[in-house]
Amino acid sequence: MVEPRRTVLVIDDDPVILRLLEVNFEMEGFDVRMAGDGVEGLDAARAEPPDVIVSDVMMPRMSGLELLAGLKADDLTAAIPVILLSAKAQASDVRAGLDAGADDYVTKPFEPLDLVDRVLKLLP
């Protein structure tokens, strides 16, 4: 039996990171959707809930932490696993992300295949 393709929503204001993650997730068999900031990401997640979300923390219009709060407050998106991706690498930043409801927190620079592995571990 063929497993259905999983969908990942990648949210980042850096087009280079978006493209890097798009390529790596596609190579692992994911359908990839992308958004350039938290507002677009929240709208995309509500319109068509993905299996998992990977989001930057520092973005214009809506930060990753604000995005996470919006996702967790909506019954449609509350159960979607979220990995935060950030250059903010202090222990207090990581704790803030996890306390806000993130399932994992990855600091930049990061190894794309490590991120894919972390995503796969969150999926049933």
Tell me the pLDDT tens digit for each residue of 40-74. 999 999 999 999 999 999 999 999 999 999 999 99
Q: What residue spans define the domains of the chain?
A: 7-122
pLDDT in the model for residue 124:
83
The answer to whether 67 touches 38, Cβ cutoff 8 Å, is yes
Output the six-digit token pair for 5: 């393709």
Backbone angles phi, psi at 109, to 5 degrees: -70, 155
> How far apart are the C-alpha atoms of 101 and 32, rounded to whole Å?
22
Residue 100 DSSP one-character state: T
Residue 85 has pLDDT above 90, yes or no: yes
Instruction: Tell me which of 2 and 65 has the higher pLDDT.
Output: 65
If one looks up domain 7-122 in CATH, what number appears? 3.40.50.2300
Spatial CA neighbour of 10 closest among 53, 43, 46, 49: 53
Residue 34 has pLDDT above 60, yes or no: yes
Q: What does pLDDT average to over the chain? A: 94
Residue 92, classified by CB atoms within 10 Å of its CB into exposed (0-12), middle (13-18) or buried (19+), is: exposed
Residue 1 has pLDDT above 60, yes or no: no
DSSP notation for 24-86: HHHHTT-EEEEESSHHHHHHHHHHS--SEEEEESS-SSS-HHHHHHHHHTSTTTTTS-EEEEE
Spatial CA neighbour of 12 closest among 49, 47, 61: 61
